[in-house]
Amino acid sequence: MLRLDIPIFKCIRAVWAGIVHSNYRIMDLREGCETFQQSTLQFLRQIIGSHRQIRDDYQELIELTMVILGSPPPIIHWRSPGPVHHARWMAKLLYATKIVLFRYHRDVFQLTKAEETRLQRFALFGALLYSKFWTKAPFAAEAPAEDLQLWTDLKKYEKIDPEVGKAIRSVLERHLWYLLDETVGLALFSEQVTSEDKELLLSNLMKESAERKCGAMQPH
């Protein structure tokens, strides 16, 4: 399996055992981040308190996000940095978040100003947006509504970091092919979609289905 041995990530692996984990510093939030911060923390607290079984990487991502946003869970499971490869989609964000949390350990990290800035921008986006939507990803019925919400939030995020917001929206645009009628229909089972919106969605899906059948019956 291909490993991504980025030098700065290799560094934290080497020194992790010697870091005092209680001596961390949370993210310095930019102006305009409050709404994203509150929304993300509210959702992650619900997940933590729901007694839902959470896989290791997901649990670590949730806990680190809560820590870096200034609202740590009662228990923090500080895990030793593991391998970084393509099968662990969250690995780079987990690494970056840990480095940002312990960035003032000058005896451990010798970050340039440019490196620190890039890591903080990456960790900020991860904490405010990515962690929430990635944690929701396994909930199939919520996918259509969440895709729309992500698109809306990315537009709002451009006010915080225009470069990152536009870049991520550009990536999302390349994956709109999977938003098929069958996928959108999953929203009918969502707890987030109102009854009125479900009725409108069902009406539109039935109308489109009827138009397709009518078109298929027309002589060519």
pLDDT digits (tens, 9 = 90+) for 134-143: 888 777 777 7
Quote the Cα angle for 110-165-90, to 5°: 55
Q: What share of the chain is helix, strand, coil (3-state, %, to 5)?
A: 65, 0, 35
Spell 88-105 as b/e; 16+ CB within 10 A means b.
Answer: bebbebbbbbbbbbbbeb
pLDDT, residue 72, reads 94
Percentage above 70 pLDDT, the chain: 81
The answer to whether 40 and 132 are in contact (CB under 8 A) is yes
Q: Is the per-residue pLDDT at 62 higher than 80?
A: yes
The answer to whether 118 and 89 are in contact (CB under 8 A) is no
pLDDT, residue 215, reads 58
Spell 190-207 as b/e; 16+ CB within 10 A means b.
Answer: beebeeeeeeebeeebee
The answer to whether 121 and 161 are in contact (CB under 8 A) is yes
Band of the pLDDT at 30, cuts 50, 70, 90?
confident
Please state, in angstroms and rounded to a whole number, the distance separating the CA atoms of residues 44 and 136.
10
Please state, in angstroms and rounded to a whole number, the distance separating the CA atoms of residues 93 and 91.
5
Q: Is the per-residue pLDDT at 106 higher than 90?
A: no
H helices of 21-125, in order, are: 34-49, 56-68, 91-101, 113-125
Q: Which of 51-55, 58-62, 163-167 has the lowest mean pLDDT?
A: 51-55
Q: Is the per-residue pLDDT at 4 higher than 60?
A: no
pLDDT, residue 1, reads 32
Output the pTM of the full model.
0.77
Band of the pLDDT at 53, cuts 50, 70, 90?
low
- In Å, what is the CA distance from 123 to each residue of 55, 74, 89, 118? 21, 22, 14, 9
Please state, in angstroms and rounded to a whole number, the distance separating the CA atoms of residues 18 and 5.
21
Q: Which two tokens stand for residue 199?
A: 């009725």
